[in-house]
Amino acid sequence: MLHVQQIDRDFKLGPDSLTPLIHANFCPSDAQLKNAREILFQAERTIKTMQLELAQLDGAGDSLSDSVYADRVGLCLWEQSAAEGRATQMRFILSPWRRLPRELQTEIFLLCVYEHLDAAPATNRAPLLLLHVCRSWRAVVLGTPEIWTMMCYHIDREEDIRFIENWISRSGVYPLQLRITAALPRQAGDSLGGPPKLFGKVKQLVEKHMHRLQTLRLDMPHDYSALLLHGAPLLYALEFDANLWKRGALWNRDPQPQWGVNSLPALRQLTFRPTCKPSYRFPWRQLTSLSLLGEMMPQSTLQILSQCPALITFRLSFVGFLPYAAGHETTAILPALQELYASSSSPVQEQAIETVFSALTLPELRVLDIRARTLYSFDTIGPLLQRSACHLDKLSIDAEDVDQLSILQYIRSVSGTLTSLALRVRGAEIKSYGSLLRSLTLVTDLGGESLCPNLETILLAGVSWMPDGLLADMVESRWRGGKRSVLKRVVWPNCRFSHAEHTGRLERLRDEGLEIYSLS
């Protein structure tokens, strides 16, 4: 909060002057507040007076010459406009925002800061936007180090490194979340293992602030094995994305990374691309989230998983060409794993992921998310679910080459515990969800068996049309299905129905309180 004496010193004006408050967000003194209220009262009275005079002039227009009428109207409009301008300025000065304590302003500014590491700083978004409002806001923002603890930036020149360093310098001693991306051509003469000059600058920057890093994400076409991760007591999330496979290059030789188990005591989340090896000295046993995205053999993946007993979330995505060699695979029991995400785009990759699945036991699995060109064989998934004896809550399938029979096999295997089902399927054998919708319709007859009676959320996407009435029948049976019905949300594809009455039935369910949406 700014004192009157400071305003006097900065602007060389008396304590009741309102000039400095018109172009800034300083907190007004009691004398300035009194002055502003008086000016606002006078301005509002002038506005009313001018409005009355204009009304009188309209009534007496015939008795005045054109020139006199025009002069009087012009004068009234000018005075009214000036009074409205003064009133606006005084309301701005009297705004409650000005009287907020600096601490509360700081908390509000912190809520304005974007909290995800996927967008670079921009002048139309906090915190840079807040620097250009007024001098007092700028002082608050620059004096709040918590605002500057997150940085995402794409670099292509040394000036970008200086910008990042300047940003970090404003963060004081607070923990940092840092993401740096680049798509840099390698300089002539650089070996694959020797980082170019610019990557060397990034390496120096990261190592300089390693003791404060809480999140580090590097997405650059370089080998990180020379990066020193020692002295990082706060590092919780680490992501390396070398992106080399896109350039047809391989990971550098057999690197000996300068990473040690004892230097990363807080590490819980690890994402690695393109190739992570079991020999890397990461603190595997303490990880709770692991994402392996790249060219890896199933054997290596399983060897890594066997070292991660505390994993809760695992993401596996094979990309590019994956040489596959069958053989004896390591088995892995992950007693704490609850979420499994798998992604592939070719038959070779799908075979590799099925190999990994066939060696896993996941007794606490709750979420299974599959994205593949061809849906993984149920001969692999079925035994995994049976072997794990898990209680799956959420099943999500996104596939192109799939039929309804395969989907029903998946659903029936977890029917008793499933609460969320999301299907995004495409392919020649699925033109609609006819068989699936019939199977999901609750059976009310005595002795009848219903599929997935505990479903709370249903999402169906990927088809262009649906059979008459089947979707509405299924949703109505679950919404009005008595005690067994727990349905809360339905999302259906933007597809064609033969009759508008089916859409109307769904709309009526929305009116009754069901959350129901159509995908655009």
pLDDT digits (tens, 9 = 90+) for 293-349: 766 677 888 889 999 999 999 999 876 544 555 555 678 899 999 999 998 888 778
pLDDT of residue 163: 92
pLDDT of residue 368: 95
DSSP state for residue 451 in the 8-state scheme: S
Question: What kind and span of H or E run contains 489?
Answer: strand 489-492
Is 396 part of a structural domain of the chain?
no
Average pLDDT, integer, range 434-444? 79
pLDDT over 50 (residue 250): no
pLDDT of residue 513: 85
CA 403 and chain centroid, separation: 32
Query: Could you give the dihedral angle defined by the CA atoms of residues 221, 224, 228 and 231, in that order, rounded to the nearest 10 degrees?
Result: 90
Is 139 part of a structural domain of the chain?
no
Is 359 part of a structural domain of the chain?
no
Average pLDDT, integer, range 269-277? 82
Number of domains in the chain: 2
**Closest to 301 in 3D by CA, of 283, 328, 278:** 278
pLDDT of residue 10: 37
Higher pLDDT, 136 or 217: 217
Is 54 part of a structural domain of the chain?
yes
pLDDT over 60 (residue 107): yes
* Predicted confidence band of residue 12 (pLDDT cuts 50, 70, 90): very low
pLDDT over 70 (residue 485): no
Q: How far apart are CA 369 and CA 446, in angstroms?
A: 34
Is 348 part of a structural domain of the chain?
no
* Predicted confidence band of residue 15 (pLDDT cuts 50, 70, 90): very low
Q: How far apart are CA 334 and CA 222, in angstroms?
A: 32
For residue 368, give Cα distances in angstroms to 296, 364, 384, 437: 21, 11, 11, 21
Phi, psi for 340 (deg, rounded to 5): -125, 120
Is 206 part of a structural domain of the chain?
no
Where does residue 202 rank: exposed (0-12), middle (13-18), buried (19+ CB within 10 A)?
buried
Average pLDDT, integer, range 122-144? 84
* Predicted confidence band of residue 432 (pLDDT cuts 50, 70, 90): low
Q: How far apart are CA 280 and CA 255, in angstroms?
A: 9
Q: How far apart are CA 510 and CA 506, in angstroms?
A: 7
pLDDT over 50 (residue 247): no
pLDDT of residue 23: 67
pLDDT of residue 335: 94
Q: Which two tokens stand for residue 265?
A: 């005591």
Range with the lowest mean pLDDT among 96-100, 365-369, 429-433? 429-433
Higher pLDDT, 80 or 186: 80
Final residue of a structural domain among 82, 98, 114: 98
21, 133 Cβ separation under 8 angstroms: no
pTM assigned to the model? 0.76
Q: Name the percent of the chain in helix, strand, coil, to the closest 5.
A: 40, 15, 45
pLDDT of residue 200: 82
pLDDT over 90 (residue 14): no
Average pLDDT, integer, range 3-29? 54
pLDDT of residue 449: 62
- Please give the share of the chain, as a percent, with pLDDT higher than 70: 79
Average pLDDT, integer, range 404-413? 86
**Closest to 369 in 3D by CA, of 338, 400, 404:** 338
pLDDT over 70 (residue 89): yes
N- to C-terminal Cα separation, the chain: 50
Range with the lowest mean pLDDT among 41-50, 123-132, 209-218? 123-132
pLDDT over 90 (residue 62): no
pLDDT over 50 (residue 284): yes
Average pLDDT, integer, range 13-17? 49
pLDDT of residue 309: 94
Evaluated on CA atoms 121, 123, 126, 128, the torsion sign reads positive
pLDDT over 60 (residue 352): yes
List pLDDT tens digits, range 156-180.
888 889 999 999 999 999 999 999 9
Is 458 part of a structural domain of the chain?
yes
Is 445 part of a structural domain of the chain?
yes
CA 424 and chain centroid, separation: 21
pLDDT over 50 (residue 509): yes
Higher pLDDT, 82 or 114: 82
pLDDT over 80 (residue 72): yes
pLDDT of residue 177: 93
Q: How far apart are CA 487 and CA 349, in angstroms?
A: 36
Residue 516's SS3 state is strand
Q: How far apart are CA 509 and CA 516, in angstroms?
A: 8
Domain of residue 465 covers 411-520
Most confident of 135-144, 261-270, 392-401: 392-401
Write the DSSP assignment of 149-186 as a string of letters. SEEEEE-SSHHHHHHHHHHHHTTTTS-EEEEEE---PP
Question: Mean pLDDT for the chain?
Answer: 79
Final residue of a structural domain among 83, 98, 113: 98
Average pLDDT, integer, range 486-493? 84
Final residue of a structural domain among 68, 98, 128: 98
Average pLDDT, integer, range 212-241? 84
